[in-house]
Amino acid sequence: MNSSNQPLETLNEIRDLMQRSSKFLSLSGLSGISAGIVALIGATVAYLRLKTDTLYDEQSAQLAGFTRRQMMEFVLLDGAIVLILAIGFGIFFTVRKAKKAGQPIWNSTSKRVVISLLIPLVTGGIFCLAMFYRGILWVSFPATLIFYGLALLNASKYTVRDLEYLGISEVVLGLFSLFLTGYNLLIWAFGFGVLHIIYGAVMYFKYDRSSSHP
């Protein structure tokens, strides 16, 4: 090592250590893109099956030849499949990116990201289940957007800052969706599908690609 530029090198090392120790930077853009695609497919299936965007009145369900119970079961199942696939792909691409970069996957920073995501998400999940139990289906569409947005906002402190913008966008969409009840499914598809794909693509070109060609 050349002793003449040692202070500069030391400063750079310090900066790198501070970043690496406090933020989980292996979040992959492809995770976002895959989650978006899964969400769009899920929303399309729901739309084709229910033939309606309005999930709050009994009439539209009956028009599509559904009992209320069938409709609830279908929405729950569809939502659960989307959630599991999105999380699965998300973990897969992020683990792959971390491995490529030789970074540890399960450490104190990734734990903090997961915990800060889970608290608002589980709260939102229980809230939606309670609404379902009370027979209020439509609220779960804005609610999932809002709670998911808050979860991202919470987790953005421990990972790439850009997650903050996605979080805020999801919350704002969710709030709009509360008032535009006729467009619940459409707004949901936009929030979870289109926004994820846009965000994932931006992240991919900003971080993933540049890190493989430094």
CA distances from 86 to 7, 34, 52, 69, 196 (A): 45, 7, 24, 26, 11
**What's the min distance (Å) between Cβ of 159 and other proteins?**
14
**What's the min distance (Å) between Cβ of 138 and other proteins?**
42
Which residues have a Cβ under 8 Å from the Cβ of 149 and sit 6 or more positions away?
166, 167, 168, 169, 170, 171, 172, 173, 174
**Is the alpha carbon torsion for 176, 180, 181, 185 positive or negative?**
negative
**What's the min distance (Å) between Cβ of 95 and other proteins?**
17
Rank residues 5 and 62 by Cβ distance to other proteins and give the closer one. 5
Rank residues 14 and 91 by Cβ distance to other proteins and give the closer one. 14
**What's the min distance (Å) between Cβ of 101 and other proteins?**
14
Rank residues 13 and 58 by Cβ distance to other proteins and give the closer one. 13
Task: Report how far Cα 96 is from the mean position of its chain's Cα atoms.
Answer: 18
Binding site for other proteins (CB under 8 A): 4-8, 10-11, 13-14, 17-18, 20-22, 104, 107-108
Rank residues 65 and 102 by Cβ distance to other proteins and give the closer one. 102
Rank residues 158 and 190 by Cβ distance to other proteins and give the closer one. 158
**What's the min distance (Å) between Cβ of 4 and other proteins?**
5
